[in-house]
Structure 1
Amino acid sequence: MTLSFRALMGACAMGALCTAAAAQSTTITVATVNNGDMIRMQGLMDAFNEAHPDITVEWVTLEENVLRQRVTQDVATKGGQFDVMTIGTYEVPIWGERGWLVSLDDLPESYDVDDILPAIRGGLTVDGSLYAAPFYGESSMVMYRRDLMEAAGMEMPDAPTWEFIKEAAAAMTDKGNEVYGICLRGKAGWGENMAFLSAMANSYGARWFDMDWKPQFDSEEWKATLTDYLELMNEYGPPGASSNGFNENLALFQSGKCGMWIDATVAASFVTNPDESTVADQVGFALAPDNGLGKRGNWLWAWNLGIPAGTQNEEAAKTFVEWATSKEYTALVAEKEGWANVPPGTRQSLYDNQEYLDAAPFAQMTLESINAADPQNPTVDDVPYVGVQFVAIPEFQGIGTAVGQQFSAALAGQVSAEQALSMAQQLTEREMTRAGYIK
């Protein structure tokens, strides 16, 4: 048990007890990703230190791929190197089910767990228990040029269909002036092109696996998904799209070369920033498209703070997680950095705040996009897995990237859609059999 700040100061004032009292303070190590939100948090630690002088926070800040490798190794072996880990929505259900994370069900009432958006909370919950706290969340949506849409004589609905997206892409394309009707991810990777294509496939009624874990790439639904994606990109997309991920498409959109872009909701603040975007005053937003089957083609992701079961400092770690993902932290960021810079996508109270809504004209569509995602029931038919744009099993990172390579090759014209789907079916079936899912 740590001493209070007042007791510690009193002891130190007496001199003889200072060393003993200080020894009872707790040091926790936080492993985190090197994104803007987490770097900002490190710059605001004075507020935490003032409120909790008995807890010292040490940071290990890593690039995403290195972070994932380090924390996975540590949590699996209960190594105890880290007391708090920054992990994604992909890891939480896998690690929670395996008992690798500490439950956060005993956070104080003042934390207001019920304020966390249901879709985000659902992705972090296993058997009714919360295993991580979100500090940033996102879905995906349509970002489009209102001026080009108007010039095409069309009006974007708030909830478009894929058929409308096709028609609009055709009408907005002007390749002679390097304006492309639509920009989508083509770069291979489970978190790159497969994030988009898995979400799109959900809206087409496609699944990664049936209830017996048999891969479904030989289904008509996957054929329709990939065929329409390739048509959109080959007819109305930019050249070299098989190399384009989030950052490449962001640059294309900001420079006025994309009529529409379907991607992460966090991009909204970048494309509407007049210092970064040449089309900032012409950007509109809509929900990701659907096919009338009850599911939209949008994903769900969050960066979260979790506590590994191997920690020796559970109480101090929970104190930090509570502070870093609280309403009070959001207010602190707003005070220091402005409302437009607060971590988005985690709490309903943020979207009830008029100051935030005024600073972020895309806020309401972001909220609706997040709420439209259901990680427990991601597609039209039943599935044995959790996850919207991924499958929450350890094997998915390798399988998802391998499938993404096949689909990227199809986009580059190296193989046909039929060949890509056939290879995806074969490699996924092989890996799932090897892993014991298929008997």
Structure 2
Amino acid sequence: MNMRAVLGAATALTAVGLTAAAQDATTLTIATVNNGDMIRMQALSDNFTEQNPDIALEWVTLEENVLRQRVTQDIATGGGQFDVMTIGTYEVPIWAAQDWLLPLDDLPADYDVDDLLPAIRSALSVDGTLYAAPFYGESAMVMYRTDVAEQAGVEIPDEPTWSDIKAAAEAMHDPDNEVYGICLRGKPGWGENMGFITAMANSYGASWFDMEWQPQFDSEPWQAAMNDYLELMNNYGPPGASSNGFNENLALFQQGRCGMWIDATVAASFVTDPDDSTVADSVGYATFPSREGVDNRGNWLWAWSLAVPSSTDAEDAAKRFVAWATSKDYTTLVAQEEGWRAAPPGTRTSLYQNQEYQAAAPFAEMTLKAMQAATPENPSVDEVPYTGGQFVAIPEFQGIGTAVGQTFSAALAGQMDAEQALQTAQQLTQREMQRAGYID
């Protein structure tokens, strides 16, 4: 046989081998959210498939509200549509208790579970067993334009009150030049506007329920918080704010349209990215505000995490992917590709001990401080029967929180005033809690 024939035969055998390998590959369907960190993970996933040629990845990337609806429906019905799900600290303990998630107690030794920040690890565990691996963790803080603040002659304290925020928003508001004093979430959803508004209400001394599970929207702290929220947004916010969630406000801030933005700490790496943000070199940070006389800054504790549903038929492959995407090696990969500033924050102790990260991420100290200050086990200054911070950790909250969020978004759009919105929230929440058997 001549050399050309040998090469031809070898090529044919290689093609057959590759085809067979492709046919034998396990396909993982991964449901994730359309934010910057998750999109970056998808872009870097060739690194995983090169290391694991027996696994192929299929991505379903969805807007936050849609993702929550799709994965909840799939896991509750045992649909098996997804092998890996992106879920949060709200879902993990509730779903694990229903045996809907596989335990992650068999991750490889080099994963180093003990390196996970204690608060995050605890939030994603039930009876000491981890049920989801954190991709990134966050709390909330104020991000503001230092240049606009200076021009307006205002100084934002490191630990501002809501009165400080209101005064700064008024001074920085310059709609003629398309700079709005403040940007806050208005898009309805239990994890969109209600994530922020619940945290804000906590910082005013409010709570969702008293110890008898009676709704508290008719209380003075809720009235004060809602009035100030609407005043800030109606007087100093951007137009169309009732449609703005995390991603929309991120884009506005990056474009220089927001004097201040109060939201998740994870946003800091994106507002300081010189490739995407026009204000990257003029961003300052402060803790989440509090109301004068209230010892609660509304800090929330959240992690977008990767979990493996019990309905998967690809357990081993799914756990391999989860371990890769939430590992220290993945953090190093991001740093190599995009710099340490872009490393997924808020999950590992080692990241905050890394001097390269500290030097590249001016927001690192404030992020860690906010996360360590979060008290999801005691979200309100009053004694309450629930945990959760910016949500209420009961199964019914998804439906109730979304309905209340729609009401508050309608108020922001001018369809009702604060009093009407709170009265509606009180009535619908009381009705749903009665149906669920919490109250008579």
Sort the TM-score into its range (normalised by shorter chain). Answer: 0.7 to 0.9
Q: How does 1:138-149 map to 2 (within 5 A)?
A: 138-149=138-149
Change (3 A) 1:42 1:166: closer
TM-fit CA distance, 1:66: 4.9
2:369 aligned with 1:368, yes or no? yes
Which residue does the alignment assign to 2:14? none
Which residue does the alignment assign to 1:382? 383
Aligned 8 A contact 1:118 1:371 in 2: no
CA distance in 2, matches of 1:176, 1:37: 33
Taking structure 2 as the reference length, the TM-score comes to 0.85
Letter in 2 for 1:373: A
SS, match of residue 215 in structure 2: coil
TM-fit CA distance, 1:424: 0.5
Letter in 2 for 1:100: W
CA distance in 2, matches of 1:87, 1:389: 15
Aligned 8 A contact 1:89 1:302 in 2: yes
Letter in 1 for 2:407: Q
CA distance in 1, matches of 2:59, 2:372: 33
CA distance in 2, matches of 1:30, 1:263: 30
CA distance in 1, matches of 2:429, 2:208: 9
Which residue does the alignment assign to 1:337? 338
Aligned 8 A contact 2:213 2:439 in 1: yes
Aligned 8 A contact 1:186 1:192 in 2: yes
Q: How does 1:115-194 map to 2 (within 5 A)?
A: 115-194=115-194
2:57 aligned with 1:58, yes or no? yes
2:203 aligned with 1:195, yes or no? no
SS, match of residue 259 in structure 2: strand
2:432 aligned with 1:398, yes or no? no
Change (3 A) 1:313 1:244: closer
Letter in 1 for 2:336: E
Which residue does the alignment assign to 2:415? 414
SS, match of residue 408 in structure 2: helix
CA distance in 2, matches of 1:43, 1:163: 43
Provide, for residues 262-285 of structure 1, a one-character-per-residue CA deviation record: whole Å limited to 9, x for no partner: 122232233223443333322111
Aligned 8 A contact 1:28 1:317 in 2: no
Aligned 8 A contact 1:87 1:306 in 2: yes
Aligned 8 A contact 2:33 2:67 in 1: no
TM-fit CA distance, 1:426: 0.2
- Structure 1: gaps of 5 or more residues: 1-17
Aligned 8 A contact 1:271 1:280 in 2: yes
TM-fit CA distance, 1:313: 4.3
CA distance in 1, matches of 2:424, 2:414: 15
Letter in 1 for 2:372: N
Change (3 A) 1:309 1:224: same
Aligned 8 A contact 2:152 2:171 in 1: yes
2:26 aligned with 1:27, yes or no? yes
Change (3 A) 1:320 1:270: closer
TM-fit CA distance, 1:360: 2.1
Change (3 A) 1:253 1:42: closer
Report sequence identity in percent.
Answer: 71
Which residue does the alignment assign to 1:304? 305
CA distance in 2, matches of 1:22, 1:280: 46
Q: How does 1:24-103 map to 2 (within 5 A)?
A: 27=26, 29-33=28-32, 35=34, 36-49=36-49, 51-52=51-52, 55-64=54-63, 65-103=65-103
Change (3 A) 1:83 1:250: closer
Letter in 2 for 1:328: D
- Structure 2: gaps of 5 or more residues: 1-16
Moved more, 74-83 or 412-421: 74-83
CA distance in 1, matches of 2:169, 2:412: 17
Moved more, 287-296 or 247-256: 247-256
2:289 aligned with 1:289, yes or no? yes
CA distance in 2, matches of 1:317, 1:297: 35
CA distance in 1, matches of 2:337, 2:284: 28
CA distance in 2, matches of 1:224, 1:405: 19
Alignment RMSD, CA only?
2.9
TM-fit CA distance, 1:316: 4.1
Aligned 8 A contact 1:351 1:357 in 2: yes
Aligned 8 A contact 2:32 2:85 in 1: no
Provide, for residues 62-114 of structure 1, a one-character-per-residue CA deviation record: whole Å limited to 9, x for no partner: 32455444433442244444433222222212101212112223434432223
Change (3 A) 1:282 1:197: same
Change (3 A) 1:176 1:314: closer
Change (3 A) 1:289 1:118: farther
